[in-house]
Structure 1
Amino acid sequence: MPQIFIPQRFNGPPDTANGGYVAGLIAGEMRKAGIEGAIEVSLRAPPPVEAAMDLVIAGGACECRHGDAVVGTARGVEALGAVPAAPTLAVAAQGRENFPPVADHAFPYCFVCGPSRTRDGLCIFTGRPHGYDGVTDVWTPGSDYAEADGLVREAVIWAALDCPGAFAIGFQERPMVLGRIKGQVLRRPEAGAPLIVAAWHLYDDGRKHGAASALFTADGELLAQTEQLWIELK
């Protein structure tokens, strides 16, 4: 039975693993089991850090368990739809100028978007640039996020596309947690190259909110994309 283990470093909310990172690890194990294409991961409980979780993969689906509790489920799904064209690198770089201040951040130590994690986090600070309908930032993944082949690890790509969706919805005004993420990685980029991260608000339904996100090369080639369901905290 395969297992995944999330070190404390890869947290989202305090003492909880980043949902996108967890989803990326699950997707990677499903691919090892022969399940290709887009993967949809639904989180049923907060994924723990510093604890092993068992993966039960059968019939094109997966259960992620921590003891007797089902933390999440996953399944292969159809390919995601088209995304808007990428902003230019110059426009994308303007996004972080409008990222909310640390005082307005519900989870300032999040591995992906935490402004208090400038030493060991991804530091993806997506905000709204002028003239673009979404939130953006430029992210240059370091070599410590790459496999031996020099390409960025799949779980890190999923993590990078997680939090931007929440900021496209308005995380700073209404904190929320990830409930479901559907994603596909088309091509893993090399570490050390600047990449464009963008995300868009899709819908609101009470405390449920939808978003989509994408990762592009500096020239606008689509590398990976997600569609997400976020649950607003009470």
Structure 2
Amino acid sequence: MAFLVPARFCGPPESGNGGWVSGHFAGQVPTSPELPAVSVRLRTPPPLDREMATRTVPGGPDGSTTVVELFDGDHLVAQGQAVHGPEPRGIPGPVSFEDAQAAGERYEGLADHPFPTCFSCGTGRSRGDGLRLQPGRVADSDTYACAWVPGDDVDLETVWAALGCPGGWASGIAGRPMVLGTMTARVDTLPVAGEPHVVMAWQRGEEGRKHLSGTALYAADGTLLAQAEATWIAIDPATIRPASPAGGTS
């Protein structure tokens, strides 16, 4: 099956936004009531505007769990499969939309952003072209929050993108560039376009270059709509290539 990441949905200027790509890929992974979430592992930066191919292979100890693989030619880009998913127990509840807006004023990306072209949280994107999320630290807390009013084009990919980058900022991406390695998400209900929502994010630990995060999407009334866990990989800042003047923003 053909698979393509339009340049609009970039993270770094020359590769796909990890959350959006994972959500797009997750749509091709079969789930079930027993395994309602999808876990996606990105093995290499997803290319933009280039057709890739997916294939399914047996997985799990008994071969009963379908694993979907994404290839760019002969190169494995991603793997995904259905899992039990993150449990809602123990995750922080939402702050108010107004408090999330206030947290956004403390968004570290406003001062220094490793990937300003990012579809989800890039400061170089215009509203309507990108999500323009601004996750910031909640006052007197270690958690992060951002306010989000989804547009009319909200879909599964957009929700995964909204759940992705806030976790990176909660994990310390400011001053220490990271890329998404693995993301596991469960989306129970899509958000309502035009309505206020809050994304919460928190750090779950670190293991060397790996940084673990959790995120949750809430409606204004506090209903949990979706949640995710992710592993972020710290990278050498010298490897980051600057965006061209129009790179990734069209």
Give yes or no for contact 2:31–2:82 (8 Å, CA) kept in 1.
no
**Secondary structure of the residue that 1:183 maps to in structure 2?**
strand
Deviation at 1:87, TM superposition (A): 1.5
Deviation at 1:165, TM superposition (A): 0.6
Give yes or no for contact 2:92–2:200 (8 Å, CA) kept in 1.
no
Distance in 1, Cα, partners of 2:78 & 2:57:
14
Give yes or no for contact 1:168–1:211 (8 Å, CA) kept in 2.
yes
Paired amino acid for 1:96: G
Per-residue Cα deviation, 1:51-110 (whole angstroms, up to 9, x for no partner)? 112111243111011111000111111131122211122221211110125451110111
Query: Which of 150, 153, 156 is matched with 1:154 structurally?
Result: 156
What residue number does 2:68 align with?
62
**Secondary structure of the residue that 1:197 maps to in structure 2?**
strand
Give yes or no for contact 1:102–1:116 (8 Å, CA) kept in 2.
no
What residue number does 1:86 align with?
94
Distance in 2, Cα, partners of 1:193 & 1:133:
26
Distance in 2, Cα, partners of 1:93 & 1:169:
20
Paired amino acid for 1:42: R
Structure 2 residue 4 is the aligned partner of structure 1 residue 5: yes
Deviation at 1:142, TM superposition (A): 1.0
Distance in 2, Cα, partners of 1:102 & 1:213:
21
> How many residues in Structure 1 have an aligned counterpart in Structure 2?
226
What residue number does 1:216 align with?
218
- In the superposition, the TM-score normalised over structure 2's length comes to 0.86
What residue number does 2:40 align with?
41
Paired amino acid for 1:25: H
Q: CA RMSD in A?
A: 1.8
Change in Cα spacing, 1:71 to 1:49, as seen in structure 2 (3 Å) is: same
Q: How does 1:12-23 map to 2 (within 5 A)?
A: 12-23=11-22
What residue number does 1:114 align with?
122
Change in Cα spacing, 1:69 to 1:95, as seen in structure 2 (3 Å) is: same
Distance in 1, Cα, partners of 2:32 & 2:215:
26
Give yes or no for contact 1:135–1:168 (8 Å, CA) kept in 2.
yes
Per-residue Cα deviation, 1:161-195 (whole angstroms, up to 9, x for no partner)? 11101100111121100000001101112211111
Deviation at 1:20, TM superposition (A): 0.7
- In the superposition, the TM-score normalised over structure 1's length comes to 0.91
**Secondary structure of the residue that 2:28 maps to in structure 1?**
helix
**Secondary structure of the residue that 1:29 maps to in structure 2?**
coil
Give yes or no for contact 1:124–1:139 (8 Å, CA) kept in 2.
yes
Per-residue Cα deviation, 1:9-54 (whole angstroms, up to 9, x for no partner)? 0000111000111111111112489995111100110000101121
Change in Cα spacing, 1:47 to 1:33, as seen in structure 2 (3 Å) is: farther
Q: Which moved more, 1:29-38 or 1:175-184?
A: 29-38
Deviation at 1:129, TM superposition (A): 2.1
Distance in 2, Cα, partners of 1:101 & 1:16:
19
